[in-house]
Structures are given as structure tokens and as C-alpha cells.
Amino acid sequence: MFSILCTVPFFYGRMTEFFPQLPVIITFVGIAYHMLKAVDVMYFVYYTDMDIPFLTYVNYMLFFPTFTAGPIFRYRDFQKVYNKPVPLTTDRFITCVKRFIKGMFKKMVVLYFVSTFFNFLVASEKHWYVSLAIVVFSYLFLFFDLSGYSDMAIAVGSVMGYTVPENFRKPWAAASFTQFWRNWHITL
């Protein structure tokens, strides 16, 4: 029953023909991601037979670094460091700053060039090789957008004392499509 309740906002947002539109102020942010987190908590409670304090649940659901798009930080991992965050050292802080800058570079610089070339391809004459390039650049755009966001989320989470899991493991270097998918969105 709880998992069904968790999916209601997701389907409500997708079925605009059947339901009235919400005002812009009440739009759901990252609803699919939050739905997965809520279902993860439900399974954690069901299989471990443990109660979760309400404040811990709220902190997990509203955890700032991964709030809108992940990486998916499972409750069991969040709970392990919730009461005992990893201390911040100078080396750890420097590593986090470098990782955050790397993520910003992906989102601001690399994505600018990828989207510029993508827009050029979309506007150009249609041939099979242009369509293939559009598909490739669509995945490149998604990769650099999500990978950049993940780098920033992991860095901020680490500064806060949490070990947020990696989300990508060099998917473009995979030898097969199966391996590509396993490396694409690891936490999913």
C-alpha cells in the first residue's frame, strides 16, 4: 500500500489530461527520484523490521546533495553515517573541491559545446549519419549533465560527512551494451 502511495505523485504529474494542472509553485521536483527513495525506505523497514524515526526519514528524503537527481543514496547507507558522519580533513576537503569543480566544468563548459553541436546537427540536413550523430550526442548530453551533477552531489555530500555512492563507472569505455548499462547509472 505504501509503495502505491509513493507512486501517486509520479503518475499524477504524468497524466495531465486526466487531472487538473497544479500551480507552478507546487510542482514536484525530482518526483521519480523521491519515489524510488520512499520505496527503498519501505523495503528497508519491511526486511529489517526496524522503525525509522520521523526526523531521520525527513533528513533522508530531503538530503540536500542528492535532493533532485541522485545518485540514489540508499537508506541503509545513509543510516550508517547519519549519527557518525565522516570527519572532514584538509585532504578530504581539497579532494571535494576538485571534484566539485570537475562537475561544474562538465555542466558548464562541456555541456555548452555538446549542446551547441547537438543544435547544429538538429538544424542540419537530415541523413542517416546525422540521425546517428544526434543519438550519440543525446547520450553525451545526458551523460555529462548527470555525471556533472553526480560529481557535485558526491563532493558536497562528502564535505557534509556522507559517502554518497558513485553513479557512473566510465560507461563509454564498456565493451558491450550490457556493461554500458551497468556502468551508466550504477545506483539505479
Q: What is the pTM of this model?
A: 0.81
Full DSSP string of 6-45: HHHHHHHHH-TTTSPPPPGGGPPSSHHHHHHHHHHHHHHH
In the block, cell 502511495 appears at 5
| Distance (Å, whole) CA 75 – CA 81 | 10
For 103, 142, 174, the CA distances from 138, given in Å and listed in that order, are: 19, 6, 18
Q: For residue 174, which amino acid is it?
A: A
What pLDDT shows up at residue 34?
80
| Distance (Å, whole) CA 40 – CA 43 | 5
What pLDDT shows up at residue 159?
96
For 40, 103, 106, 110, 139, the CA distances from 143, given in Å and listed in that order, are: 24, 12, 9, 11, 6
| DSSP category for residue 108 | I
Per-position pLDDT tens, the chain of length 188: 555 555 565 555 555 555 566 555 555 567 778 888 888 998 898 898 888 899 999 899 889 898 888 788 899 999 888 888 899 999 999 999 999 999 999 999 999 999 999 999 999 888 899 999 999 999 899 989 999 999 999 999 999 999 999 988 888 888 888 888 888 878 87
What pLDDT shows up at residue 145?
92
Question: Which contiguous run of DSSP H or E holds residue 178?
Answer: helix 177-184
